[in-house]
Amino acid sequence: MNTLMKERPVFVAGIGLHPYQFISEIPYIALGLRAVREALEDAGIAWAAVESAYVGTSAIGMAAGRVMFQHLGSTGLAVTQVESASASGCSAFRQACMEVASGVSDVVLAMGVDKFGGAHRAADKDGLHHLTPTATLPPVKFALMARDYLRRHGLRPEAMARVAVKNHSNAALNPYAQFRKPRTLEQVMASPKVVGDLTVQQCCPRGEGAAAVIVMSERAIKRLGVDRRRAVRVLASVACSETLQHGEETSAAAEMVRHSTMQAYEQAGIGPRDLDLVELHEAFSIEELVYTEAMQLCPPGEGAAWLERGASAIGGECAVNASGGLLGMGHPTGPTGVGQIAEITRQIRGEAHGRQHPGARLGLAHMIGLGSVAFAHVLAASH
């Protein structure tokens, strides 16, 4: 993949979203098409130019792509549906990048669309007996992670609640976000408890939405007359899954994040200090503290202090979840990973009006999905 992307550079040339929102009666097709049409318009290309499409969705059902795309015109493009739970969108993006990098296609759509309610966890169908009905529930898994982290570092629950405060503040500046109100630390802490020290406002909301990006080769950018200055280059694409952990100190999820991120840094030829932006999976507030450490954005054990001194704020050392993240922007599942790519692209272009991180040129999009699986992508300014 590294060699392929060096030989045949891959770019994000168009981005589009349907705002993330609470569950509505709007059909998924309307959500998805708004995002795709916005991405096409942003790239300045016609639907007919798209040779292949990958659709990330976890809850819509079989053949979501073709049912939706026929309303754009039946051009005969290749359509593939992918599912990786929370990471469905970034697995669609990775497939699109590989298809362009390998030379199979020059113009590929990666999109995610979802509506809450139709998803079923495979882990609940494994035919095995668990000791508790909570064994496959993410809120419990991450509440246990939180308790362990807070205890180990001598921190109070407010330390992780500040993640929600920061990300809700960022989301309030994002017109595509599900939540558009800043929250105080007192509000976050006073919201109803879910599990352990996690309150409602430290857990991502249920919702729906869509996100789309147009992935292109250099040849297509020239041929279609796309504005090269607004195209953002993909420097790395990494995927992996959880390994068996025996240690006391590192959770399997944190180790998976560390491993996938280090691979992405190596592939991109960068280090953590080079990053201006990170969009990461904080479906639960604790994740942002644990993963910023795993990504080596700050030293081990200093995730909370790094956040508290503003290092991960917009305008700080490295803006983490400038979009509002999963807590503030929302987590409709299929679209989330593609939405991260759209946010980083927008920031690198300098078009994130009202929440622009100054001088943004290099960003990491990182998602995990049930199972667990991880995807990491590094994007860079191409001018």
Of 129 and 273, which has the nearer Cβ to another protein?
A: 129
Burial class (CB in 10 A: 0-12, 13-18, 19+), 216: buried
The binding site for another protein (CB under 8 A) comprises 127-135, 137, 139-140, 143-144, 146-148, 151, 192-197, 244, 246
Least distance to another protein, CB of residue 131, Å: 5
Of 98 and 143, which has the nearer Cβ to another protein?
A: 143
Of 146 and 256, which has the nearer Cβ to another protein?
A: 146
Of 146 and 318, which has the nearer Cβ to another protein?
A: 146
Least distance to another protein, CB of residue 138, Å: 10
Of 41 and 124, which has the nearer Cβ to another protein?
A: 124
Least distance to another protein, CB of residue 127, Å: 8
Least distance to another protein, CB of residue 206, Å: 13
Q: Please, are residues 277 and 365 in contact by the beta-carbon 8 Å criterion?
A: no
Least distance to another protein, CB of residue 148, Å: 5
Closest alpha carbon to 87 in 124, 58, 121? 58
Least distance to another protein, CB of residue 314, Å: 31
Q: Where are the alpha helices (DSSP H) in the chain?
A: 2-7, 28-43, 64-69, 88-101, 138-153, 158-171, 185-190, 218-224, 252-268, 285-294, 303-308, 325-328, 336-349
Least distance to another protein, CB of residue 150, Å: 11
DSSP code per residue over 137-204: -HHHHHHHHHHHHHHHHT--THHHHHHHHHHHHHHTT-TT-S--S---HHHHHHSPEEETTEEGGGBP
Least distance to another protein, CB of residue 274, Å: 35
Of 79 and 137, which has the nearer Cβ to another protein?
A: 137
Of 157 and 325, which has the nearer Cβ to another protein?
A: 157
Q: Please, are residues 200 and 283 in contact by the beta-carbon 8 Å criterion?
A: no
Q: Please, are residues 236 and 29 in contact by the beta-carbon 8 Å criterion?
A: no
Give the amino acid at 331.
H
Of 15 and 161, which has the nearer Cβ to another protein?
A: 161
CA neighbours closer than 13 Å in the CB half-sphere of residue 360: 31
Q: Which two tokens stand for residue 194?
A: 């879910």
Of 74 and 132, which has the nearer Cβ to another protein?
A: 132
Q: Please, are residues 90 and 341 in contact by the beta-carbon 8 Å criterion?
A: yes
Q: Which two tokens stand for residue 346?
A: 């927008």
Q: How far apart are the first and last CA of the chain?
A: 22
Least distance to another protein, CB of residue 280, Å: 23
Q: Which two tokens stand for residue 68?
A: 């939706």
